[in-house]
Structure 1
Amino acid sequence: MSVKTLPAFNAVTFFQGFQKTATNIKLIWRPHSNLKVSWYRVERKMNGGEWMWIGTVKERMMAEYIDTNIIAGNRYDYRVIAIGFEHSFSQPSSTVSIVAR
């Protein structure tokens, strides 16, 4: 018996981020065009560290996330991965980098 994994599909597009308040960074992206996408995984790395899964957006058309756990002076890199109903993954989005003020 052999098991095949599905290939990764295209990444989320139009991914942007901005500091909304002293303690919040808002991330937005275009909802994925693949109708099989059921949710998004939001990842962050701080000051060049490792990628960490920080949040989940549970619907394909809900294309925003607010990170409420930031500290001034730190650099935050973000990316989004779309997840399909059959647990397939997209390529990671482009990276958004923000130095918190």
Structure 2
Amino acid sequence: MLKLAVLCCLLGAVMSAPQTKNELTCDICIDVITDLDNWLTSDKTEQEIVDFMKEICAALGLILPDLEATCNELMDAQLPGIIDDLVNNNLNPTEVCTNIAACP
């Protein structure tokens, strides 16, 4: 789940930065989305995953106060769509990361 927190930070940076993409961001995104995809096949619901990620945002906010709000906004805006793409659209992690502009 730490990887998902890292993804939150990276996605926030990617979304707020100019459209420059790099392999490191892409590789991390693919790794995190792969882990998320594996987690979805466990007995967790989408809401449990979103709630857990918001707890991570709160924890990140204790370290970097400005990051909590950005992380929460990112979770609200991106995580349900990512989960939907993985589950309902059967996208693979590379396709998801390309769709959210983390990969070229």
Say yes or no: TM over 0.5: no
TM-score, normalization by structure 1 = 0.28
Is the radius of gyration larger for structure 1 or structure 2? 1
More helix by share: 2
Q: Which has the higher contact order (CA 8 A, sep 6+)?
A: 2
More strand by share: 1
